[in-house]
Amino acid sequence: LLSEVVLSIVLYLLFRPVSKTLSLLAAVSRLIMTTIHGLNLLNYFFVLQLLGGSAILAVFEPSQVYALVSLFLEAHSYGFTIGVAFLVPHVLILGYLIFKSGYFPKVLGILFVAAGVGYLIDTIGLLLVPSYTTTPGLIAMVIAIAELAFPIWLLVKGVNTAGWEKRTLSAGSPQPLPQA
């Protein structure tokens, strides 16, 4: 969870020169997702309490314990999906910011927009269509390609510092990119 917070801040700072408002909206969206996912971990904690032999279990029949465990696991599944619903705007906005930035290839932005659409379809399916239980392969593939391409690009090529500095100066933030 801490890494999600750090990532939200780093992405905000990286894309603030493109659009301060959109960059902030993307960060807030991701932070909401992170908060939901953090709170959602309580469902796993409750499952562990039920299966760990807590003294309170003496009042429950084994079938009741099983029903409660199933309930908390199902609640976790829905909670995770609701969290991803807040990831959707983050990914769509990030795709736009990458595309417009001038310091990343536009294709990375297009991939992120496609991934955002995939997350949206998947989230709607999981929340509203009872028979929809797994992410279709094509959607998963698009999401995976985008989610892998960007960090690989950052590791191999990094940020086009000239493009970032140009964008930063034109946005009125005369802060040069730190040199390693």
Q: Using one digit for the tens of pLDDT, what is the confidence trace for 12-71? A: 999 999 999 999 999 999 999 999 999 999 999 999 988 887 777 778 888 888 999 999
Q: Are 90 and 11 spatial neighbours (Cβ–Cβ below 8 Å)?
A: no
For residue 40, the model assigns a pLDDT of 96
Spatial separation of the C-alpha atoms in residues 180 and 149, rounded to whole Å: 23
Q: What is the pTM of this model?
A: 0.84
**Residue 180 or 142, more confident:** 142
Q: At what angle do helices 62-101 and 161-170 cross, to 10 degrees?
A: 80
**Does the structure show a pLDDT above 80 at 10?**
yes
Spatial separation of the C-alpha atoms in residues 121 and 46, rounded to whole Å: 30
For residue 116, the model assigns a pLDDT of 96
pLDDT tens figures, 70-89 = 999 999 999 999 999 999 99
For residue 160, the model assigns a pLDDT of 81
For residue 54, the model assigns a pLDDT of 72
Contacts of residue 82, defined as CB under 8 A and 6 or more positions apart, other chains included, come to 36, 127
For residue 132, the model assigns a pLDDT of 85
Q: Are 27 and 11 spatial neighbours (Cβ–Cβ below 8 Å)?
A: yes
For residue 180, the model assigns a pLDDT of 53
pLDDT tens figures, 100-150 = 998 999 999 999 999 999 999 999 999 999 888 788 888 899 999 999 999
Q: How confident is the model at residue 97 (pLDDT cuts 50, 70, 90)?
A: very high
